[in-house]
Each structure stands twice: as C-alpha cells, then as structure tokens.
Amino acid sequence: MTNSGALGGDAAARTVTDAVSEAVAALRPAADRDWSAVRAGRVEWDCLRTAEHVVSDLFAYATQLVTRAPEEYRPVEYVLDPPDIGAEGALEAVEAGGAMLALACRTAPRSARGFHPAPFRGAGREGFAAMGVAEVLLHTHDMAEGLGIAYRPSAELCGYVLARIFPHIRQGEDPWRTLLWATGRGTLPGEEPVTGWGWYNNPLVEAERLTLEGLTVPAAADLALGGDGGFDWVAGGPFEGTREGAGLVVAAYDKGAFRPQWGSYVLVRREDDRAVGSMGFHGPPDEEGRVEIGYDLAVAARGQGYATEALRALTAWALAQEAVGTVTARVDPGNAASRNVLERAGFLRTGHLVDDGGMLVLERRGEAA
C-alpha cells in the first residue's frame, strides 16, 4: 500500500493544503490565458467553470462538516463573483476554499459528521478532506489537459485518496494512474475502461449507546501496526482481536478485495466518543447469502451489554441487505460469556453444531431465509 494516510484533523488539513498548493503551482503559469475559452479535458465545462466547481466543492465540504448538516446539503451556493473574474482570481478562490476546508478539518471533533450522499449518507473530517483532495487532483488534471500543461500530483496524495475513499480498488504501482483509471480518465493494463464510478466514505450503524464506525483502510493500517487507529480507547483497548481484524482489512485492500460495508466496525460510545471494541464480518456474503460475524471487546468495557447491543444492531443491518439471508458466528464451546452474547442477540444453535475446528456455530436467519 503506497500510503495508508495520516490520521486526525491536522493530518487531514495538511492533505488539503498540499493538494491545493500543488494544483495552483501547476496551473498558475497558464493564468494569463482566457480559461473560459478552453475546455477542461474530457469534462463538459471550460477551465474557468471547472475551477469554480472546485471552489464550490471545497467551501461546501467545509460547510457540511462545520455545521454537521444531518440529511442534506446546506442551502448555500458558492460561485465566482464576478463570473468573468479570470484565471488568477479563480486560483485565489481555490486557495481560499482549500484554506476553509483545512480549517474545518483541523477544528472539527473526531466524531463530527456531515451529510454527503455517496454512498452511506455522511462523512467525517478525513472523508471530507479526501473528497476535497480528489476534486482538486482530478479537476486540476482536467484543466491542465485542456490548457496543455504538465501536472502530476504526489504519490502520497493519490495514495491517500485511494485508501480513504476508493478502498475497493487496489492501488497498484502507480497510484496516480490508478486514480485516473478509477474515475474514467485513463487506462490500466488488464482492466476494462471505467464508465461509471463512485467513491466510498465509511459506513455507520447506530445502536442504542454506540455508533459502529466502519474501519477505514488508513485506520486499519495504523491499528495493525500497533497504533490506536485514530480512536480514543478505553483502558486495555484495542484488544488483540481488533488488531487482527484490522490486518484482515489491510490484506483485503492490498488484493483489491476489500468491501467497506463488509469489513470491521469500531464500537464507539457516544457519551464520551471512546472506543470500546470492534465487530465485523469475515468477508462479503457468499453465494448462499451467508455472512460470518465476529467481535472483540476491551476488558474494561465488558459486562455492560455493549457486545449484545452492537451485535443486535449490526446483525439487523446485515439481514436487511438483499444479499444476506443468514448471519453466522463461531464460538469456543467453553466460552460461556461469548455464547450468551450471541444467544441474547437472537443467534441459535441450528444446523451444524460444531465446525471442523471444534468451534460451536450459531446463526441468525432473516425472515426470508
């Protein structure tokens, strides 16, 4: 993996300012030209309108994050004024938008979320940073292509965008080329051209006292290497099972096989934004509609019903997906506490009682299963 991406608000802010700085440096030599007369690469806009789009996105993302817009975009429009401000004015506006998004990322708390439709209806500070960086990188490419000037962003920025919001795609040896291919702007050997695309922010599943936050690739990489994944953990966390699950996320990502909604989720206590454990799937559903779930709780958080609460919520979410008919779990027959958690969450000992490894298999079926 080229770059797992630094964690936290300050790191997210730096990615935005670095992306804007590189873009403006590449485009400024062409600022004496009439950008309204030049089409921006393959997009339908001219270069001035494309720059305005970048400005709009940067300011809009900052607004969504700062105001924690819950269900839709705030009713605010961001445009260049006057419309014929020219290339130099447009670049100044891009710099201003970048500064505003960076400030929002730096000052927003870790738990802050704002509405964004793609695809799980929300994003946090690192998600908005990655989306902002993607807009800057990709549309600077479009403008540079139209203007006939050279532009190639740093591999670190491209790796950050891919790891954070394109986790379903393998980076490969050249993350910039991969990002262009993933967004319909280039080709990759052995891969079909991309005609429709989208990015992924991490999913959330709400429980009574907990928020289950889908583990991003950068956070998983940090956890697998012994870090905290950007979370404030209760005493004794993260436990070993959480780190193992994070390692599975990284391994799947490196193979191009990671699917964000079927990965690991960190269990975050809403009252104090502290992580108490993790829970997740061993991969996407199989052809029979079966998916396996596992969980891990820090010692200090045990005995308070968190595991049962989270298991009920994540299992219900899974069974609501069209591809899932049965959720299974394996437990050591001697682990009465874990078995009790499963049974309280509605799992039953049906079918195979014990697998080949001597583990007890329990399952919960959907209504149509």
Q: What is the pLDDT at residue 5?
A: 59
Same domain, 112 and 255: no
Please answer whether residues 60 and 8 qualify as being in contact, where contact means their C-beta atoms are separated by less than 8 angstroms: no
| Residues linked to residue 291 through DSSP beta bridges, in sequence order | 327
Same domain, 175 and 243: no
Q: Is residue 195 included in any domain, yes or no?
A: no
Q: How many helices (H) and strands (E) does the chain have?
A: 10, 8
Structure tokens at 86: 């020219």
Same domain, 164 and 220: no
Please answer whether residues 307 and 240 qualify as being in contact, where contact means their C-beta atoms are separated by less than 8 angstroms: no
Smallest CA-to-CA distance from 294 within 323, 320, 330 is with 330
Backbone conformation region of residue 147, classed left if phi is above 0, alpha if psi is from -120 to 50, else beta: alpha
Same domain, 233 and 104: no
Please answer whether residues 268 and 216 qualify as being in contact, where contact means their C-beta atoms are separated by less than 8 angstroms: no
Q: How many CA within 13 A on the CB side of residue 238?
A: 30
Q: At what angle do helices 87-107 and 125-147 cross, to 10 degrees?
A: 160
Q: Is residue 124 included in any domain, yes or no?
A: yes
Q: How many domains does the chain have?
A: 2
Q: Is residue 199 included in any domain, yes or no?
A: no
Structure tokens at 313: 């919520």
Torsional sign, CA 228, 209, 278, 306: positive
CATH of the domain at 218: 3.40.630.30
Q: Is residue 267 included in any domain, yes or no?
A: yes
Q: Is residue 135 included in any domain, yes or no?
A: yes
Domain boundary among 182, 212, 241: 182
Q: Is residue 3 included in any domain, yes or no?
A: no
Same domain, 249 and 321: yes
Same domain, 111 and 211: no
Same domain, 36 and 177: yes
Q: Is residue 188 included in any domain, yes or no?
A: no
Q: How many CA within 13 A on the CB side of residue 205?
A: 25
Same domain, 147 and 237: no
Three-state DSSP at 39 gives strand
Q: What is the pLDDT at residue 3?
A: 44
By CB neighbour count within 10 A (0-12 exposed, 13-18 middle, 19+ buried), where does 244 fall? middle
Neighbours of 362 (CB within 10 A): 22
Please answer whether residues 158 and 173 qualify as being in contact, where contact means their C-beta atoms are separated by less than 8 angstroms: no
Domain boundary among 182, 216, 239: 182
Q: What span, in angstroms and rounded, lies between the C-alpha atoms of 34 and 84? A: 10
E strands of 22-83, at which residues?
none
| Residues linked to residue 290 through DSSP beta bridges, in sequence order | 326
Domain boundary among 152, 182, 212: 182
Please answer whether residues 203 and 149 qualify as being in contact, where contact means their C-beta atoms are separated by less than 8 angstroms: no
Same domain, 124 and 22: yes
Q: Is residue 197 included in any domain, yes or no?
A: no
Please answer whether residues 212 and 204 qualify as being in contact, where contact means their C-beta atoms are separated by less than 8 angstroms: yes
Smallest CA-to-CA distance from 231 within 181, 265, 186, 185 is with 265
Q: What is the pLDDT at residue 322?
A: 95
Q: What is the pLDDT at residue 102?
A: 98
**b/e 205-217 (16+ beta carbons within 10 angstroms → b):** bebebbbbbbbbb
Smallest CA-to-CA distance from 290 within 228, 208, 369, 182 is with 369
Q: What is the pLDDT at residue 84?
A: 87
CATH of the domain at 50: 1.20.120.450
Same domain, 152 and 233: no
Low-confidence spans in the chain with pLDDT less than 70 = 1-6, 351-357, 368-369
Q: What is the pLDDT at residue 13?
A: 98
In degrees, rounded to 5, the angle at the alpha carbon of residue 140 between the alpha carbons of residues 139 and 141 is 85
Structural domain containing residue 125: 9-182
Q: What is the pLDDT at residue 106?
A: 98
Q: What is the pLDDT at residue 349?
A: 84
pLDDT tens digits along 163-176: 999 999 999 999 99
Same domain, 216 and 155: no
Same domain, 124 and 218: no
